[in-house]
Amino acid sequence: AQSVSQHNHHVILSEAASLELGCNYSYGGTVNLFWYVQYPGQHLQLLLKYFSGDPLVKGIKGFEAEFIKSKFSFNLRKPSVQWSDTAEYFCAVNAASGTASKLTFGTGTRLQVTL
Amino acid sequence: DVKVTQSSRYLVKRTGEKVFLECVQDMDHENMFWYRQDPGLGLRLIYFSYDVKMKEKGDIPEGYSVSREKKERFSLILESASTNQTSMYLCASSLAGAYNEQFFGPGTRLTVL
């Protein structure tokens, strides 16, 4: 069975600081990887995803993530955070086969950006 | 834009009641999902469906059942609600295929007293 670990549960940063949120997964086969974000009071929405090709993927709002297969990692990064990035971030993985994109989510990282 | 709607934002029920949570999507998606979201536990999959009348158990199906009679609608049923089912319930939908993103509804916060 696949699993996802997000080691940072709560991160507090000042505006303009750089961000890196860790995500590690365990699964022996080929995977698709996702980062979702949940802003306060809003729906969960996709930030970015990786399923093949360039391991460095860019998403919305200046976020990017790098897939490192040898480390089973898919860390999320942003060079300079804004107050509006305050949200909860979830990493998710599924097996790259089958018809139903059954996702396994991490426990989430709550990011708080201070002015 | 894809729209996933859930019948209630907030719901309060009593222990032992039968509870229905409804989810509707308007983009003709094949897949639909029910999750529960709890602080510190992230999202956990309860059930999913990849076609009308088809369903598969997720990671935590105990105490729940589902129904999908029409492609756009996916219902989650708590046969006999218990206090440990107090949670935020999220519905999602996606196109067929493992690489397609899931689109989420706003969630239903269920409190079982």
The three state secondary structure string of chain B is CCCEEECCCEEEECCCCCEEEEEEECCCCCEEEEEEEECCCEEEEEEEEEECCEEEECCCCCCEEEEEEECCEEEEEECCCCHHHCEEEEEEEECCCCCCCCEECCCEEEEEC
Per-residue pLDDT of chain A (115 residues; tens, 9 = 90+): 778 999 899 999 999 999 999 999 998 778 899 999 999 999 999 999 998 899 999 999 999 999 999 999 999 999 999 999 999 999 999 876 655 667 899 999 999 999 9
Rounded CA-CA distance A60/B12 in Å is 36
pLDDT tens, residue by residue, B73-83: 999 999 999 99
pLDDT tens, residue by residue, B12-24: 999 999 999 999 9
Task: With beta carbons less than 8 A apart as the criterion, state whether B44 and B36 touch.
Answer: yes
- Please indicate whether, in this complex, the C-beta atoms of B31 and A100 are within 8 angstroms of each other: yes
Give the nearest partner residue to B97 out of A99, A107, A108, using CB atoms. A99
Q: B4-100 falls under which CATH superfamily? A: Immunoglobulins (2.60.40.10)
Q: CATH for A3-114, among 2.60.40.10, 3.40.50.720, 1.10.357.10, 3.40.50.1820?
A: 2.60.40.10
- Would you state the structure tokens that stand for residue B77, as one six-digit string? 């049923």
All structural domains of chain B with their residue ranges: 4-100
All structural domains of chain A with their residue ranges: 3-114
**CB of B87 within 8 Å of any CB in chain A?**
no
